[in-house]
Structure 1
């Protein structure tokens, strides 16, 4: 792959990060009405009625999201590729980011399957079964965050290790990744609480991570575009040195 083709691939891969975020946000907030999450304390009868009323929105959102989630792999690959430039070849940080990034889309797809099962024929299911399925959905969707914590931590460390005169990413990006790792961590406590800021619809488990992830998902594609441009403009000797390291 020549430099210009590589640049175009990375450019569209970075932009795919925007597309995935926008499509999932619009589907879940507007069509399916699964975000913000409803309270874990809602009764089984309430959950069944919710699924009946929002059946079409949930199922069509699942169809639409299924088309865009695979694009996350392009975004993950480009992020790892630029981290490889920092490590002067594939190193532990870029590999960890790649592996955790490969797993991350599962955090979208598995919950999607579960909530789709719940919404497929809710009028024929008992309220208790539907409540179990929605509990599983939110446990997967919100509680899966710790995998993403490791991913953003290694990105942050890689940024700080870049000592070149013109670094691949600005230093503030490391601290954005560390901040996101911190605010995502409370999501693990949703398994033991049903109300308050640590519940799956609470301030620390949902709202703060949601806004922090939004900031990260805006900043990262923009920085990837800049990094890809710098790679395109780099001398051939620098590119050869990096690839052969």
Structure 2
């Protein structure tokens, strides 16, 4: 493959991550009206009213994510390819990042498909709607703990990089460690029905959501920077 074309593909893969981020915000918060989430203490009638009243919006949001979420795969791969430069080839860190990142689209789509199931039939038993709604929020928020490993590994790779011109700036490594810590409380939704660790709480939902948004924008920035330096290194010998 032509080297310049290869790096165009790399940049396109980075921008795929931006498309997924924007589409997710639109689908989840604007179209689906899923922010703020319903209270874990809401009863079956309240949840049934929410699902039936937002049925079309929820189903449309799932369709949007079903179309856009697979674009996360190129983003995940180009991240591992840049970590590959740090390790001098495929190694433990780049492989862990890749294998944990491929969970992301499923981690979004599967819970949303469960919510679509709850909203799909408006005449469904409210208790069943409540059950499916609980499964959605517990899975959607609780599964974020998987990405603790993903972002922590990116942080480790950043800090151990000893190249004269590091692939990622050092501050980005510490940002990944911070996000890993912030994402960790999401696992406590399984034992919390109210308070800051519930699925609508500050430590389980809101703080991780805002931190993830900041991290994602930073990730796109440093990846574009890394691809640019990678292209420069690759084309230097040809120019010489």
- Into which bin does the TM-score normalised by the smaller protein fall? over 0.9
Q: Which structure is higher in RCO with an 8 Å CA cutoff and minimum separation 6?
A: 1
Is residue 225 of structure 2 the alignment partner of residue 222 of structure 1? Answer: no
Match for residue 212 of structure 2? 213
Aligned length: 238
Measure how far apart 1:87 and its partner are. Answer: 0.4
Aligned to 1:81: 81
Q: Is the 8 A contact 1:100 1:151 kept in 2?
A: yes
More displaced, 26-35 or 195-204? 26-35
Q: After TM superposition, which residue ranges in structure 1, 4 or more long, deviate above 3 angstroms?
A: 235-239
Map of 1:242 onto structure 2? none
Measure, in 2, the Cα distance between the counterparts of 1:16 and 1:60. 21
CA RMSD after TM alignment: 1.3
> Does the Cα contact within 8 Å between 1:156 and 1:177 map onto a contact in 2?
yes
Give ranges in structure 2 of 5+ residues lacking alignment: none
Contact 1:47 1:131 in 2 (8 A): yes
User: Cα deviations across residues 153-182 of structure 1 (Å, max 9, x unaligned)?
Assistant: 100000001111210000000011001100
TM-score, reference length from structure 1: 0.94
Higher mean Cα deviation, 229-238 or 209-218?
A: 229-238
By how many angstroms is 1:237 displaced? 7.8
> Which residue does 2:138 correspond to in 1?
139
Whether contact under 8 Å (1:104, 1:147) holds in the other structure is no
Contact 1:79-1:224 at 8 Å conserved across structures: yes
Contact 1:187 1:198 in 2 (8 A): yes
Q: Once the 2 structures are TM-superposed, how far is the Cα of residue 36 of structure 1 from its aligned partner?
A: 2.2
Map 1:80-159 onto structure 2 (within 5 A).
80-122=80-122, 124-159=123-158
Contact 1:142 1:205 (8 Å CA) reproduced: yes
Residues 21-36 of structure 1 mapped to structure 2, 5 A cutoff: 21-36=21-36
Residue 31 of structure 2 corresponds to residue 40 of structure 1: no
The whole-number CA distance in structure 2 between the counterparts of 1:180 and 1:90 is 25
Q: Partners of 1:36 and 1:46 in 2: how far apart?
A: 15
Q: Does 1:187 align with 2:154?
A: no
CA distance in 2, matches of 1:211, 1:102: 22
1-side partners of 2:160 and 2:64: how far apart? 39
Deviations 1:72-114 (A, max 9, x none): 0010000000000000000000000000011121111111110
1:2 Cα shift? 2.7
